[in-house]
Amino acid sequence: ESGALWGGRFASGPAPALAALSKSTQFDWILAPYDIRGSKAHATALAAAGYLSEDELAEMRAALDELAARVADGRAVPAADDEDVHSALERLLIEITGVQLGGKLRAGRSRNDQIATLVRLYLLDHAAVIRGMLLDLLDAIADQAAAHPDAILPGRTHLQHAQPVLLAHQLAAHAWPIVRNLERLRDWASRASASPYGGGALAGSSLGLDPRLVATELGLGDPLENSIDGTAARDVVAEFAFITAQIGIDLSRLSEEIILWNTKEFGFVRLHDGYSTGSSIMPQKKNPDIAELARGKSGRLIGNLTGLLATLKGLPLAYNRDLQEDKEPVFDSIGQLEVLLPAFTGMVATLTFDTKRMAELAPQGFSLATDVAEWLVKQGVIFRDAHEISGELVRHCEERGIELHEPSDAELASISAHLTPAVREVLTIEGSVNSRVGAGGTARVRVDEQLARLAEQIAEF
Ligand code: ARG
C-alpha cells in the first residue's frame, strides 16, 4: 500500500506522469517542521474534543517530537512516491506510532487548511530573519552618515546637478524607505498571524474541534472568521511577496547610486576589496557586483510577485490546486534576500567616500542659483523676478565660462540692481546647505535631528 492520503475511490494508482506533475516534496519539505508543530497542536484539539485519550495524546505528541528530530537530522526524508509534505509526514509518523494511533491524526483537518497555515508560519519566521538583516543594513547606513557629518555632495534631480546636500542627508534618504519596509513587515505580520487551521477542506469541521487551541499553540492570533476564505485566500502571501519586491527595489535604487558614484567620472566612493570583484581578462578592474546583483535580483523579486498575482487572479473559491504555485516564488524571494542582504550591508559598511571630490563638484553646474533667487526674495524681490534675475546670472556666467561667485560687482549690477555684492554670502556650498533649515532640510542641524530620530526608529524594531 502506498502512503497516498487518498485512493479509496480509485481503481488504479496515479499514472506516473501525473505523479511526477503532482509531486511537491522537492519544495514543500521545507515546511515539515511547521507541519509537525501543526500536528501537535491538532492532536491537542482532538484530545480536547474527546477523540484521543490522555495516553494517546501523550504518545502522539512524543511520536511527533521523535518525528521532528528525525526530520531535523535527516533520518526522516520524503520517499520517491510521496505526493507532498503532508503525505510524507503521515507515512513517517505511522512508522513510529503504528496505523491505529497515527491514522487518527487526520480527522477534522485537510491539507487545505494545513498548507494555508504552514505557509504563514514559514513566512512569519523569515520575516523575522529579514527584519534582522534590514536592521543591520540600517545600522551600516546610519554609521556612514554619522561618520561624515559635514560632507557635501551635489544633490541631483533628473541626474543633473540640482542643489548641494549633506552626504548624511542623502544616505538617510535611503534609510527611511527601509524603515517603511520594516513597518510593512510589522503590519503584514498582524494579518499573517490569523489562523486558517480548523477550516478543513473549505467548510469547517463537524467534530467540535476548537481552532483556538491550535492557533494558540502555534503562536498565532485568532482563527479566521471564514473557512472558505481561510483555505482559499493567498493575499497574505502576495503581500509578503510585495514587501520583498519593494525591499529589492529600494536596495536597487541605492545600488544604482553606488554604481554611479564608483565610476571614474564620479569618483565619490571606493569599494572595499572584500566587497568587489575582478575581471577575468582586465587586470585593473574592480567591479561593483554586489550592487549589480541587487539591481538584477530586484527584477526577479518583482517577477515572483507578478507571477503569484497572475496565479491568483480569476481563481474561483475555494481551494484549487493552482494555489500550490504560491510557494516557490515567495520561497525564492526569501532565499534571494537572505543571501543578498548580508553582502549588501557589508558593501555599504565598507564604502570609502572621497569627500574632497564630492565637495569640489557640489557647486558646479550653477547649483547655487536657487540660493541666489531665495536671497533676492529675502531682499523683498518677488519670486518670479528673483527666478528671472538668478537665471540671467547663470546665463551670464555660462557664456563666460565662470562660476556664480566670480562676476565683478559691476557685472552683478549690470544684470540687476538687486544683485549687490552681499549676494556672495550665499554663494558658498556650506552657506547654501546650512541655510536649508526648513523641516526635513539638508542643514546640519536638521540632519543631526533626523539621524537621532532614525536611531530611535531603528531601536523600535
Ligand atoms: N500541496 C498543496 C498546496 O501546496 C497542499 C494542499 C493540497 N490539497 C489538495 N487537496 N490537493 O497547496
Q: What is the pLDDT along the chain (461 residues), one digit of tens a residue?
A: 456 888 888 988 899 999 999 999 999 999 999 999 999 999 999 999 999 999 999 999 999 999 999 999 999 999 999 999 999 999 999 999 999 999 999 999 999 999 999 999 999 999 999 999 999 999 999 999 999 999 999 999 999 999 999 999 999 999 999 999 999 999 999 999 999 999 999 999 999 999 999 999 999 999 999 999 999 999 999 999 999 999 999 999 999 999 999 999 999 999 999 999 988 888 888 899 999 999 999 999 999 999 999 999 999 999 999 999 999 999 999 999 999 999 999 999 999 999 999 999 998 889 999 999 999 999 999 999 999 999 999 999 999 999 999 999 999 999 999 999 999 988 999 999 999 999 999 999 999 999 999 999 999 99
**Looking at the structure, do residues 23 and 41 belong to the same domain, yes or no?**
yes
Q: Is the dihedral of CA 214, 218, 220, 224 positive or negative?
A: negative
Cα 21 to averaged position of ligand 1 atoms, centre (Å)? 13
If asked whether residues 102 and 117 sit together in one domain, one would say: no
Residue 159 gets the label, from left (phi > 0), alpha (psi -120 to 50) or beta, of left
Q: What is the pLDDT of residue 169?
A: 98
- Any catalytic annotation for residue 2? no
Handedness of CA 138, 141, 144, 150 (dihedral sign): negative
Alpha helices in 148-234, H assignment, sequence order: 167-192, 211-217, 227-232
**87 close to ligand 1 (CB < 6 Angstrom):** no
Q: Ligand 1: distance of its center to the CA of 324 in Å?
A: 6
Structural domain includes residue 156: yes
Q: Give the helix ranges, DSSP H, for 227-380.
A: 227-232, 235-261, 289-312, 327-349, 355-361, 369-378
Between the two ends of the chain, the Cα-to-Cα distance in Å is 51
Ligand 1 close to Cβ of residue 111 (< 6 A): yes
Residue 180 sits in the same domain as residue 327: yes
Helix (H) or strand (E) holding 89: helix 85-97
Distance 328 CA to ligand 1 centre (A): 13
Indicate whether 209 and 166 sit together in one domain.
yes
pLDDT of residue 281: 86
Assign residue 76 the CATH number of its domain: 1.10.275.10
Q: Would you say residue 194 lies in a domain?
A: yes
158 is catalytic: yes
Q: Which of 12, 158, 190, 206 is catalytic?
A: 158
118 CB under 6 A from ligand 1? no
As given in the structure block, the three cell numbers for residue 151 are 560632507
pLDDT of residue 8: 87
Instruction: Please check whether residues 344 and 399 belong to one and the same domain.
Output: no
Place of cell 582586465: 282
Show the domain range for 190. 112-358
- Indicate the residue among 58, 85, 107 that finishes a domain: 107
What is the domain-level CATH number for residue 283? 1.20.200.10
Are residue 336 and residue 293 in the same domain, yes or no? yes
What whole-number distance in Å separates Cα of residue 13 and Cα of residue 2?
A: 9
Residue with CA at minimum distance from ligand 1 atom 3: 324
**Residue 351 has what DSSP assignment?**
-
What is the β-pairing status of strands 269-270 and 352-353?
antiparallel
The CA-atom distances, in angstroms, between 215 and each of 17, 89, 118, 197, 354 are 37, 20, 12, 7, 54
Ligand 1 atom 7, closest CA: 111
Cβ–ligand 1 contact at 25 (below 6 Å): no
**Is the Cβ atom of 24 under 6 angstroms away from ligand 1?**
yes
Domain count, the chain: 3
Q: Could you count the other beta carbons within 10 Å of the beta carbon of residue 353?
A: 18
Residue 323, ligand 1, Cβ within 6 A: yes
Can you give the pLDDT at residue 1?
45
pTM given for the model: 0.95
Which residue out of 34, 111, 114, 331 has the highest number of ligand 1 atoms within 8 Å of its CB and is therefore the one to mutate?
111
The answer to the question of residue 11 being in a domain is no
Cell of 431: 552657506
Nearest CA owner, ligand 1 atom 2: 324
Classify residue 300: in a domain, yes or no. yes
Identify the domain boundary among 75, 107, 139.
107
- DSSP three-state, residue 166: strand
Cα angle 393, 418, 429; round to 5:
55
pLDDT score at 139: 98
Q: Which three cell numbers stand for residue 341?
A: 542582504
Report CA 432 to chain centroid distance, whole Å. 36
Distance (angstroms) between ligand 1 centre and the Cα of 9 equals: 19
Q: Which three cell numbers stand for residue 150?
A: 559635514
Q: Is the CB of 320 under 6 A from ligand 1?
A: no
Pairing of strands 152-157, 352-353: unpaired
Are 65 and 37 within one domain?
A: yes
ipTM of the complex: 0.95
Domain boundary among 358, 388, 412: 358
Q: Is residue 398 part of a domain?
A: yes
pLDDT at 7: 84
* 233 shares a domain with 375: no
